[in-house]
Each structure stands twice: as C-alpha cells, then as structure tokens.
Amino acid sequence: MDLSFFFYPNSVAIIGASTTPGKVGYELVKNLVEGGFKGEILPVNPRGGEIFGLNIYPSITSLPSTPDIAIVVTPAETVPKIVEECGSIGVKGVVVISAGFSEVGNRVLEDELVNSAKKYGVRVIGPNSAGIINTFNNFHACMEFRVPRGPISLISQSGAVGGILFAYAREGCIGFSKFVSCGNSCDVTEVDVLEYFLKDEDTGSIALYIETVHDGFKFVDVCRRFKGVKPIIAFKAGRYHAGSRAASSHTGAIASPYHIYSSLFKQFNIFEAPSLSTFFSSSKFSGLNIKVSGSRIVIVTNSGGPGVVATDLCESLGFSLPEPSNSLKNKLSSFLSPICSLRNPIDVTAIGGYEWYYRVLKEIALSGEYDLALVICVPPSFVNPMEVAKAIYDFHKLGFNMPVFPCFMYGDMVRECIKYLESRGIPCALSIEDAVYAAYSIVYFGGVSIGSPIR
C-alpha cells in the first residue's frame, strides 16, 4: 500500500484548530509551524480567527484549495460527517486524532466513520491516533514532541509510548525518520505501515509497539517477504489475560494469544524486547548500524554485584564470556591494582577512573579476544563518573571494531554522563538489563553465532 501522500503532503488541513494553548488543535498547528513544515497549513474552525499568522477557515468547503490530507481533532460524533466532507472535495487521507470510538465500545460510530471514508476512497489513520511524523520534510502532524531526524521509524498503538521514546530522542543521540500512531486502525493498519516502512529508503530500522495485529494473514505475508531486510524491534503488550483485556479497551481490537506473536517474531527474525525499557534501549542502538563479528562479550565494571548480575543475564541469553588470556591478564595487571579482578567480569573497583577504564578497553580491543564490551559504572561518591564517560568516548574514537554498551546506573550524577556520550553518538543504558538486551539485539541482527538461551 502506498502511503506516501500521508508523509509527503503539499498541504494539510487541521480540522478543529484552536487558538487556545494546550489544546490539541493548537499544539498540532504549533508543531507544524515551529517544526518548519514548508507545505500549506490550513486551520479549520467555525469560529474563524487567526493562529500563528494563518487564517482559520470556518469550514472544509470554504478552504481556498484542496489539502492532500486532513488532521481531525473534533468531538467523535462529528467525525464521520467531516470525513465525508473531506472526501467530497478530494482529500486523499485523514488522520483522526479524536477518541470515543471502538476503544470505548462505540463500534457503530466507528463503522459510520469507515463507511464515510469508503464512499470517496479516503484512507484513514486512526481514530484515537496521536498523529504522524516525517522528519525528512519537517512534517510533525502530531501531539507529541517534535523529534530530531534519524534512521528509526516507529509504529505504535500507543501515542504515549511514542512520546516516551521522543523524550529519549530529545535528550540523546536517537533520531527518527517517521512515526505513526495507529490508534484503532479502522482502515490503515499497523501492518500497512510496517510494509511501507520496510520499503522506505529513509527508514534504517523499525520499532514496533503493538497490542494486537488487525490483519494476521497480511502480517505473516509482509514479514515473510521482507524477512531480514531491516532490523525490527518489537514489544508486544497485553501478553496475559488482564493485559489483553486492557489492550482491547485501548484499541478496540480483539487480542490473540501471546505465544502466537512470540513464535512469529522468532520465525521472521524480529527482535522481541522483554520489557518497555529494553524496547527503548534496543531501539536506540538499532538505528546506529553497529556491526559485530561474534558473541564474545567482556564485562568491565567498578562494582562486583552488578557485574555478577550482568554475567548471569549474558550467559542466559547465550553470550560467550571467556576469561582473558594470560597474556591479556599480564598487560592489565601491569597498571591495575592487585585488588582488581582480572577474570570476566573485569572489576576495576570503585577507585577506577578515566585511566583504568580507558586502558582496560584499549588493551581488550588490541587483544582481539572479545567482540563487544559491556561497561558498567556505579558512581561512588569519590570518583566523578564523567571520567568514565570520557574514557568510553576516547576509546570509541580509536575506531576499534569492538562496540561498547555503556550502563550508568542511576542517580543525578549520571545524567550528564549520558548526555555527554549520547550527544556524541554513543547510546547509554540506565540498567543492566537494558544494556545487555541492546547488545543482544545487535548480535541478533548481525547473524553471528550465539549460544542457545538458558530457560
């Protein structure tokens, strides 16, 4: 399905535009204007007036030209008629932000919306959508944050989940190509968008938050035809009975058993994140085109406990955790304290600062004994964690083929470290689980050999 008219419109109508800051109809116009969209913006509200220097038209039929698409944010009961009016003047697509349809049991009203769209061949995203984004033409037709440009395209059945990822994007190195909040998917479904993104040249990887799939047969067909074309990170919410019930009330759809989704993800090389936080962290790393040549991982930590936790998790996922060779141990012991553990994990202890982290990483990379490194920093009160951040960045600049997955654990002290690294293109994690699963996702998509997970 060609959805390009949604993402590359020359003109857009905002039906339900408002002059009141904080209202969705105001924020939509604001995001388009301040985001730098160069196409024509046509606000519509019966009250008329002006917003951001734009004339507000009293009705759809009073518009000076036919917009390519319309964004609708009016009371639910008005939407079917509005969609019909849009179709009557030749609008190609409508994004319905308005809620109050099948997600609250109002299936009849949603059917009216669908019938109005079909009458004129109008394609509909939503209802109950948070909007759509294309950063490559500054088209931020969304009630969420404006986001920096990047390679990741996000499909979400929750606008709020998209908003959380966008908050990450504004603080760090993650950037987005496109975003669709599918809402109830009364017409255009998450599968249609997935197929479009898999063909899209500006999309490097895809993050997929789903509660249910509306067309299972097409989902299987798309995943089969495009298997391995691009990394897909998925998080399936509503896995169990109560969560499935909540999902159906959120999108108005009927959920399928979780094991079906899990099996399909494995079959079609889709990386399934086990939690929302690992979904976020794995999505961040997926957009950077990181390459690994194997699954031998070394853990460098300044605290024994987190090192043990990380070791358990890495082993459970099938990573190889070999001890350093005697030659490498000798090189490390030449500058580390005798109290440092030289096994894997390599524990530089709480006194480890810039020099030890940097030299340890460099010697490990020179040895060629490991394919990737997990670096953990639990900030002690007497060592500035920024030393560790700078050590990681300076090592990164050396250009070794050994990607580093930093984990700065908690507290206000680490915020500046994360900002420092992510502004320089190195994603970070706040928990061991997030860092390990991010590393696992890179190995997963790299097609390298890895042991079987321990269940």
Among candidate residues 125, 152, 179, the one where a domain is terminated: 125
Return d(Cα 209, Cα 233) in angstroms, integer. Answer: 8
292 assigned to some structural domain:
no
75 assigned to some structural domain:
yes
Give the closest residue to 406 by CA, choosing from 365, 374, 360, 438: 374
Burial bucket for residue 271 (CB in 10 Å: 0-12, 13-18, 19+): buried
Is residue 162 located within the same domain as residue 264?
yes
Is residue 270 located within the same domain as residue 326?
no
137 assigned to some structural domain:
no
Number of domains in the chain: 3
130 assigned to some structural domain:
no
For the chain, give the number of residues: 455
Backbone conformation region of residue 239, classed left if phi is above 0, alpha if psi is from -120 to 50, else beta: alpha
347 assigned to some structural domain:
yes
Is residue 315 located within the same domain as residue 424?
yes
Contact 439, 297 (CB under 8 A): yes
**Cβ count near 137 (within 10 Å):** 16
Contact 152, 178 (CB under 8 A): no
Q: What is the pLDDT of residues 61-107, one digit of tens each?
A: 999 999 999 999 999 999 999 999 999 999 999 999 999 999 999 99
Is residue 119 located within the same domain as residue 220?
no
Contact 207, 233 (CB under 8 A): yes
SS3 297: strand
What's the rounded mean pLDDT across residues 432-448? Answer: 93
Q: Average per-residue pLDDT in the chain? A: 92
| Better pLDDT: 364 or 161 | 364
- Res. 240 pLDDT band, cuts 50 70 90: low
Q: pLDDT at position 171, please?
A: 66
235 assigned to some structural domain:
yes
Is residue 304 located within the same domain as residue 441?
yes
135 assigned to some structural domain:
no
Is residue 257 located within the same domain as residue 388?
no
263 assigned to some structural domain:
yes
Task: Write out the residue range of the structural domain in which residue 277 sits.
Answer: 144-286
Is residue 182 located within the same domain as residue 91?
no
Measured over the CA atoms of residue 219, residue 222, residue 224 and residue 226, the dihedral's sign is negative
Give the closest residue to 112 by CA, choosing from 187, 13, 211, 44: 187
Among candidate residues 125, 158, 181, the one where a domain is terminated: 125
The reported pTM is: 0.90
> How many alpha carbons fall within 13 Å on the CB side of residue 167?
7
- Res. 158 pLDDT band, cuts 50 70 90: confident
- Res. 111 pLDDT band, cuts 50 70 90: very high
Is residue 231 located within the same domain as residue 275?
yes
Residues 6+ apart with CB under 8 A from 219: 191, 194, 213, 264
Distance of CA 83 to the CA centre of its chain: 30
- Kindly report which listed range (28-37, 48-57, 170-179, 397-406) carries the lowest average pLDDT score: 170-179
Residue 46, preceding peptide bond in cis (omega within 30° of 0): no
Is residue 152 located within the same domain as residue 274?
yes
Is residue 44 located within the same domain as residue 65?
yes
Is residue 9 located within the same domain as residue 111?
yes
Is residue 308 located within the same domain as residue 434?
yes
Please check the confidence at residue 342 and state whether its pLDDT lies above 90.
yes
